[in-house]
Amino acid sequence: MFAQIRVIQHFMDEIQSQKIFACDVWHLNIENFVQSIQIYFVKNQMLKQCFQRSNLAKRKINRKNEQKLMFQDLIINCPNQEHDNNVKLICFDKSCKTNRLYCMQCNREGMHCSHPQYQYELPILLEHIEKAYQECDHFVNRIKQIIDLVYQSFNQLIGGIREKFQRSKEQFLNLNSKQMNSFFEQVILFKSFEAKIETQITESSQNFQYQLKYLYQDLNISQLNYCQISNSDIQKSQEICQKGYELWLNDNDYLEAIKNFDQALIWNPKNQSALQKKAYCLRLLKQYKEAIQWADKALDIDPKHEDTMKGKGISLFMLEEYKEAIIWIDKALEINPNNKLSLYYKADCLRLLKQYKEAIIQADKALEIDPQYQLALYCKGQCLQTLNQYAEALIFYEKYLKIDPNDQYAKIRKNQCLEALEIK
């Protein structure tokens, strides 16, 4: 018996190492599944076969075949506790009120007999669950895009308000008298605009928030038995996540770290630390699109996580989406205005958007925090050089080269400035 348990243990390890528990449903049924698989294999003395199957999986036959194999092995106890049998059929009828997963005994007792056209065999289940998982992802992305559009319109409105009512003293003095007159007239009217816009925005945003809350309540999350994660699952998830973090920190093994984060998320899909760290590792692996997807998932749970917002900004920067990168870096800067890395990335985004003066302002902020900050020194040098301010650019390249005398790019740029100054 002891040997058999070891064999089962081995089999379970195999399954886990193949990451077959890749979706929440598996997680929900994991205890049932483990129990029934043990009973099944011990009772039927099919240990040999199970070994052959796990070995087959080991040979890395393509994933689809692997899944098919597991569908055949899928064993779930009938939800009717009085039945000893395993589930064989599932019911897809939307208005059905009894257990949708059911055994042959249920079938004999006449359940679902009023709607035979909606009955399917069990192997369809996982396919359907997987499809639903993807559809849910697509749906969430679609509604997120709708909100992004709202945000875009809002930004446009803010831009318009500033354009209409805001001039610095210097800018004002640069206008001709006719323009001054017309601008001043608008400024006088500002108060009435202010009140009108603020009332409308407050009203519609309250309405919208109310609707969202209503929709959330409609989801009835607290009533669903599978949404409650046990404390032991949370604990286990944290332990696995920590293991992944150590692999990342101590060995720089991002791939193995990500495997651990994935495991942690099976135990607790809301483990925000695992989501954040997975996003971070994906970025370190230069998988920027995936990094953004996982950062989004992490931000769904903790929308104010500075590091994740900054990370998303950097990934967007790497994908050359500079405008959107600035949006996310700004959000990170709202929480931590003194993060020099955020300031540098904002500066470099602006530089690449050819907004050199604004870029210099951001680089200066980073240099205020750390005067030796190489990324900001170089970025400021590049901006000044592009603005043909060669003597000033030279100062920053020289500061940079003082720290890193062998940097070929900085040397080339320094020489370009020197040449330009000589020609002058």
Contact footprint for Zn ion (CB under 5 A): 78, 80, 83, 91, 93, 96, 102-103, 105-106, 112
- Considering the complex, what minimum distance in angstroms separates the CB of residue 253 from Zn ion? 46
- Considering the complex, what minimum distance in angstroms separates the CB of residue 74 from Zn ion? 16
- Considering the complex, what minimum distance in angstroms separates the CB of residue 123 from Zn ion? 18
> Nearer to Zn ion by C-beta: 84 or 194?
84
End-to-end CA, the chain: 91
> Nearer to Zn ion by C-beta: 77 or 385?
77
What is the token pair recorded at 370?
């750390």
In degrees, rounded to 5, the angle at the alpha carbon of residue 26 between the alpha carbons of residues 20 and 30 is 105
- Considering the complex, what minimum distance in angstroms separates the CB of residue 36 from Zn ion? 14
* Side chain identity at residue 325, one-letter code: A
> Nearer to Zn ion by C-beta: 83 or 340?
83
- Considering the complex, what minimum distance in angstroms separates the CB of residue 39 from Zn ion? 16
> Nearer to Zn ion by C-beta: 85 or 374?
85
> Nearer to Zn ion by C-beta: 123 or 303?
123
* Side chain identity at residue 105, one-letter code: Q
> Nearer to Zn ion by C-beta: 105 or 374?
105
Cα 357 to its chain centre, rounded Å, is: 33
- Considering the complex, what minimum distance in angstroms separates the CB of residue 46 from Zn ion? 23
Q: Which of 229, 293, 226 is nearest to 258 (CA)?
A: 293
Q: Which residue number has the CB closest to Zn ion? A: 96
> Nearer to Zn ion by C-beta: 96 or 353?
96
> Nearer to Zn ion by C-beta: 78 or 394?
78
Cα distances (Å, whole numbers) of residue 273 to 143, 238, 245: 25, 8, 10
CA distance 164 to 141: 34
Reduce the secondary structure of 5-56 to three states and give it as a string: HHHHHHHHHHHHHCCCCCCHHHHHCHHHHHHHHHHHHHHHCCHHHHHHHHHH
Contacts 24+ apart (CB under 8 A), 284-290: 284/254, 285/254, 285/255, 285/258, 286/318, 288/315, 288/316, 288/318, 288/319, 289/315, 289/319
- Considering the complex, what minimum distance in angstroms separates the CB of residue 89 from Zn ion? 9
Helix (H) or strand (E) holding 102: strand 101-102
Contact 285, 315 (CB under 8 A): no
- Considering the complex, what minimum distance in angstroms separates the CB of residue 104 from Zn ion? 7
CA distance 146 to 150: 7
> Nearer to Zn ion by C-beta: 91 or 394?
91
**What residues form DSSP beta bridges with 77?**
86
- Considering the complex, what minimum distance in angstroms separates the CB of residue 272 from Zn ion? 38
Q: Work out the angle between the directed axes of helices 374-386 and 340-352 (0-180°, nearest 10).
A: 20
- Considering the complex, what minimum distance in angstroms separates the CB of residue 35 from Zn ion? 16
Cα distances (Å, whole numbers) of residue 311 to 148, 180, 256, 294: 19, 44, 20, 11
CA atoms within 13 A on the CB side of 281: 25
- Considering the complex, what minimum distance in angstroms separates the CB of residue 78 from Zn ion? 3
* Side chain identity at residue 232, one-letter code: S
> Nearer to Zn ion by C-beta: 18 or 105?
105
Helix (H) or strand (E) holding 161: helix 124-165
What is the token pair recorded at 200?
């409308």
> Nearer to Zn ion by C-beta: 99 or 389?
99
